[in-house]
Amino acid sequence: MFDLLPFERRRNDLMHYFNDWGKDFFGEMGDQISAFRTDIRDKGDHYLLEAELPGFDKKDIGINLEGDTLTISAKHETQNEEKKDNYIRRERSYGSFVRSFDVSGIDTGSIKAEYKNGVLELILPKVVETKPQSRQIDIG
Residue 68: give its domain's CATH number: 2.60.40.790
CA-closest candidate to residue 124, choices 50, 30, 18, 54: 50
The DSSP string of 99-134 is: EEEE-TTB-GGG-EEEEETTEEEEEEEBPPPPPPP-
CA dist 6 and 82 (Å) reads 50
| Tens digit of each residue's pLDDT, the chain (140 residues) | 344 444 445 555 555 555 555 455 544 444 444 578 999 999 999 999 999 998 888 999 999 999 999 999 998 776 666 776 666 766 666 778 899 999 999 999 999 999 999 999 999 999 988 788 888 888 97
From CA 81, how far away is CA 116, in angstroms rounded? 28
Taking Cα atoms as reference points, which of 113, 105, 128, 119 lies closest to residue 64? 113
The answer as to whether 7 is a domain residue is no
Residues spanned by the domain of 67: 35-125
Length of the chain: 140
Total count of domains within the chain: 1
In a domain, 83, yes or no: yes
Confirm whether 61 is domain-assigned.
yes
Residue 57 in any domain: the answer is yes
